[in-house]
Each structure stands twice: as C-alpha cells, then as structure tokens.
A = this chain, B = another copy of it.
Amino acid sequence: MTGKIRLFESFQQATYPLGGHAKRNVQVLLDALEKIEGSVEGDTYGNGKLIEDFQSKIAEYLGKETAIFFPSGTMAQQIALRVWSDRKGIKRVAYHPLAHLEIHEEDGLKELHQIETVLLCAKNRIVRLEDVLNIQEEVACILLELPQREIGGQLPAYEELVAISAHCREKGIKLHLDGARLMEILPYYQKSAAEVCQLFDSVYMSFYKGVGGIAGAILAGDGDFTKEARVWKHRYGGELISLYPYIISADHYFEQRRSKMGQYYEQAQELAALYNRCHRVKTVPEVPVSNMFHVHVELPIEQVEAALLSVQQDTGIGLTPYVKQYDQTICYYEVGIGDRYAQVPKAEIEKAFQLLDQRLRENDLS
C-alpha cells in the first residue's frame, strides 16, 4: 500500500476528523427530510411553491431581485458569463487564473460558448484593483471569487472590492460574484450577504460547501438577467422535472448553519495558529479570513505524508486525507472548518499538534 493510500485510509478511519461537517452519506438527506411531510408537492420544471419560495428567500438574502436554483454552480456560472457576454456583444470575460471555470470545468465555457478569457493576475495572489485597471482588451464581465479558494481562501480588503465594483460600473463591465463560499466570508467582512452582493451584478452561491447540503446552487440578479439565465438552464438540461431533494436539503442546512459561519471562522483561526507552531509549516493565509486555509509544509512530500499518517494513526485526529505538491520544495493541503471541529476535545487536538511538530522535526533530521 502506498503512502498516499495509507494516509487516505487513516483519515477515513480517524475518530476525530477536524474538517467538514460530517460524512457525505445518505444520512445528510435523511436528516433534511425528517420534518418534511410526504404530501408536500414537488417542483415541476422550475415551477411550484417549493422551488419558488426558496428562490425568493435566497434572492432576498442576497439582496437581488430574483434567483434561480441550479443543479450545479458550474452550470450557473457559465450561464451567467454567457448572458453578460451576449448583453454586451463581447465574447470575452476576465477572472483569476485559478478560477473554477478555468481549471475544474473541462473548459466548458470555451467549448460550449466560445468565450475567451483574460487571466487577471499571477496564480499565487488575489485579484487587485490594479489588475482590473490594467485589462488591455474589452471584456463583458469580470468574475471575482470570494474567497479565492485555490490559494487558501484569500480575500481583498472590503474597500478594494468597493473600488473594483465602482470601476466596473463606470466602465460598463458586469461584475459577477463566484460566491461558492459567500456565507463563509461574511464574518470577516462584517457585512450582510446583501451588502456584499450589491457590489455585483450577478451572484452564484453554493449549497454544499459551508452550507453542507447535497448539491445545488443559486444564481441571482435582476429579473431580466435571471429570465435569460433560465432559458440557458433549460438548454443545458438543468431545468429538471424535480430538483426538490436538493432544494429541501439546501434550505434545511442553510437554516441550520447560517448563524454558524462566525464560529467556523474563529475555529479556522485557532486551528491555523496550531499549524503555524509546527516545524516548517505555514498556513495560507497565515490568519484565515473565512472557514478555510491551506497548509504549506516545506519538506519532501513523502516525509510529510509519513508524519501525518503517524499522527492520524496514533491520535485518531484526522488532519487530511491527502497532500499535494505545491512547488518544488513545498507540499500542501486544504482545510475547511465545519460542524466537526467543535466536537473534538481540545486536549486531543493539542496532543496531535505536538506530535505533528515532533514528527516533522524527526523527518527533517533523518
């Protein structure tokens, strides 16, 4: 068995995994359905009380006129960019080089819409106002992902967002929010979702990340925008006869966790501090600005895997199922806080981090 598989399995068997809410098993659906009567009517091709009520509720939460429930964020965001591209008559949009659309969607945006993309900055940092000011070609839309997931969930200062938004409005560039983890950033910004979203023309938010539902997304904007987006949803085959299993679970976990984002954020800071005390470990960002961060370790990946495996096996604390190479000298993994962290005895966590520090030092000497 390779080190990678042993690490993965030791995480699966850990008594106390530190990240996430719970196992993604059928119980997640059963819990969401517990108080739902069988007589509740399902949605039908995007219509019906169940879907319409949820869409209205989230539209209001986001401070937008209308919202549409989508089976996935991939579908929702490609469609948002297509609608804005059509509106402006320009098939070009700009985003971060590690945007979900650029690296996780098999080039759907380009293959399905022939939309060109401008990459706004270097991979290892967030988009700044000056990147937006420096765009050379005309673009229909700029997509900002908050937090920027692939670099540990970093965020610009709120004032910089305001400045980017003002610039886009002045230039007639549509601004779209990849808010896959929108709720998770509100405690840091100390803003409501609607306050953040009013800086953007359209917003996507996910219901299976911090919210912890089964799948599904909301795309919100003004009525003309969502009307057009719904036609594309139909074209994509996203206007399913019924989406209620996702909507019911999205609503259930949204209500259950909307008030917990501040807790996750504080716990992420606490956990990052524990990591930053370990030998050759640095979190990115150093102080988390949401419920997530990346753990960077400046040691050979095999040594890091061995150290993590040892800690997971000896303490039952689950730190990570995997480690990836970041560059030639650093390896990394992602941590995201959910409901589980609060259930783990603090003393056990402390013990695990003492052992991790020790194992990383040993490895370094060996």
Q: Which residues of A contact B (CB under 8 A)?
A: 23-30, 33, 36-42, 44, 70-76, 78, 105-108, 111-113, 208, 214-215, 231-232, 234-246, 248
Contacts and interface: CB of A to CB of B under 8 A. Distances in A.
Residue from A28, A107, A235, A244 with most neighbouring chain B CB atoms (10 Å): A235
Given A74-B237, A208-B241, A214-B245, 18 more contacts: A24-B242, A25-B38, A26-B36, A26-B38, A26-B40, A26-B244, A29-B245, A42-B214, A71-B238, A71-B240, A74-B236, A106-B231, A106-B235, A112-B112, A112-B235, A214-B241, A214-B244, A245-B246
A236 B242 CA distance: 18
Contacts of A75: 236-238
Given A76-B237, A242-B215, A25 B44 contact: no
Contacts of A214: 42, 241-242, 244-245
Contact of A236 (B39, B44, B112, B240): B112
A260 to B, nearest CB: 21
Contact of A44 (B24, B108, B239): B24
A251 to B, nearest CB: 13
Residue from A25, A33, A41, A242 with most neighbouring chain B CB atoms (10 Å): A242
A41 B237 CA distance: 26
A237 B71 contact: yes
Given A29-B33, A236-B75, A237-B73, A24 B38 contact: no
B23 A72 contact: no
A277 to B, nearest CB: 33
A235 B26 contact: no
Contacts of A76: 237
B42 A78 contact: no
A235 B108 CA distance: 4
10 contacts: A24-B241, A26-B36, A71-B237, A71-B240, A73-B237, A108-B234, A112-B236, A208-B242, A215-B242, A245-B245
Contacts of A27: 38-39
Contact of A248 (B26, B234, B237, B243): B26
Residue from A36, A70, A71, A74 with most neighbouring chain B CB atoms (10 Å): A71
A236 B76 CA distance: 10
Given A25-B42, A42-B25, A240-B71, A33 B30 contact: yes
Contacts of A106: 231-232, 234-235
Contacts of A244: 26, 29, 214
A27 B42 CA distance: 9
Nearest to A50: B26
Contacts of A42: 24-26, 28, 214
Contacts of A39: 25-27
A237 B105 contact: yes
Contacts of A37: 26
A205 to B, nearest CB: 15
Contacts of A248: 26
